[in-house]
Amino acid sequence: MGFLEDMQGTLDRGMTAARGAVSTVAGEQLGFVRGFGRMCQDGWELGYHERNGGNASYRLCDSDLASVQSFFYDTPSSWVPLGVTVPEMAGEYLLVTGSGKFLRNVQSNPVESAGIIEISAQGDAWRIVWGLKGGGRPTSEVGAHVAAHGVRKGVTGGKARVLYHAHPNALIALTSLVPADARTLTRLLWSSVTESVIAFPGGVGMLAWMVPGSSDLAQATARVMRDFEACVWQLHGVFASGEDFDGAFGLVNAIDKAADVYLRARAAQGGAANLPYSISDADLRATALAYDLPLNEDFL
């Protein structure tokens, strides 16, 4: 009897391990997981993610949840306080990058570099239900992600599902030259590249430097993102929202390119801030009219 019990135990453990391996591979091949990985890889290749810099999250839709739920752990992790309370996010599931993880590894190894977390019924805690193997935890900015998701979910009627935080060189450099003022920064970006006003006609928000990962930063970012799709963190990077991965990544890319063009033009004339030629307010209004854009007139 003992021999048979031992054999059955060995078989059960083998079946559990095999099922776990199959679930891991299957989970990694889901479309939203692959899209998430590509966004992280694109950012890495552009230099947006030095070392373990930057993070990202995606709010699962019903079909995503249906496709992945069978791969969830039999026993989720313990609940961990968020540091903020976001009732609008109660019961939601987020695919998030891991704390201390390198975004260059998300595409090749998502089950260790990222994971899916469930938000509690009160919107004040998270637990891991898939991924983040080996004792991983969600990004240290998880509070900012959940708070901003709650806001963007509300103002877009649930359409916005992606949040992407990157450290673009040119944009960070530009924030060392201008005050932490959304209007000032937006006007520089709009006036430097024609496509800027098309990419972000509402402008971009901006916050003065704050301690990364703090609840203060999370709450301040959420407030800014009621009015803007992107919030620039002074001397740190940018936090951007989108309906999909292309939208969030493309917004960051457009903001950083405008910053880069402005800095190059400024350097070409010896560092003087006033450039001889730039896009005027009249030009911005004409572009907005031609493309039927919701231009932020407060910034003109």
Please state the domain extents for the chain: 2-158, 169-299
Q: Residue 240: which region, alpha, beta or left (left: phi > 0; alpha: psi -120 to 50)?
A: beta
Per the structure block, which two tokens stand in for 43?
Answer: 């950012």
Tell me whether domains 2-158 and 169-299 share a fold: yes
Q: Are 119 and 83 in contact (CB under 8 A)?
A: no
> Tell me, what's the pLDDT at 215?
86
Q: 237: helix, coil or strand?
A: strand
> Tell me, what's the pLDDT at 20?
44
Per the structure block, which two tokens stand in for 14?
Answer: 């083998």
Backbone angles phi, psi at 51, to 5 degrees: 45, -120
Q: Are 182 and 204 in contact (CB under 8 A)?
A: yes
Q: What's the pLDDT tens digit per position in 190-238? A: 999 999 999 999 999 999 999 998 889 989 999 999 999 999 999 999 9
Residue type (1 letter), 90? A
Residue type (1 letter), 262? Y
Give Cα separations from 46 to 40, 52, 125, 163, 212 (angstroms): 10, 14, 33, 18, 22
Residue labelled with tokens 């694109």: 42
Backbone angles phi, psi at 158, to 5 degrees: 90, 0
Q: Are 127 and 136 in contact (CB under 8 A)?
A: no
> Tell me, what's the pLDDT at 11?
33
Q: Are 209 and 234 in contact (CB under 8 A)?
A: yes
Kindly give, in sequence order, each residue whose CB lies less than 8 Å from that of residue 193, ignoring residues fewer than 6 positions away.
254, 257, 258, 261
Distance CA 23, CA 10 (A): 20
Residue 299: which of 284, 287, 286 has the closest Cα? 284
User: CATH says 2-158 is which class?
Assistant: alpha beta
Verify whether residue 141 is a known catalytic residue.
Answer: yes
pTM score, whole prediction: 0.90
Instruction: State the distance between the two ends of the chain, measured CA to CA, in whole angstroms.
Output: 83
Task: Provide the pairing of β-strand 230-233 with 205-207.
Answer: parallel
Task: Provide the pairing of β-strand 114-119 with 93-97.
Answer: antiparallel
Give Cα separations from 25 to 121, 146, 148, 255, 262 (angstroms): 29, 27, 30, 35, 44
Q: 129: helix, coil or strand?
A: strand
Indicate which residue of 88, 141, 229, 297 is catalytic: 141
169-299 CATH pick, 1.20.810.10, 3.40.225.10, 3.40.50.2020, 3.40.50.720: 3.40.225.10
- Give me the residues of the chain with pLDDT under 50, please: 1-23
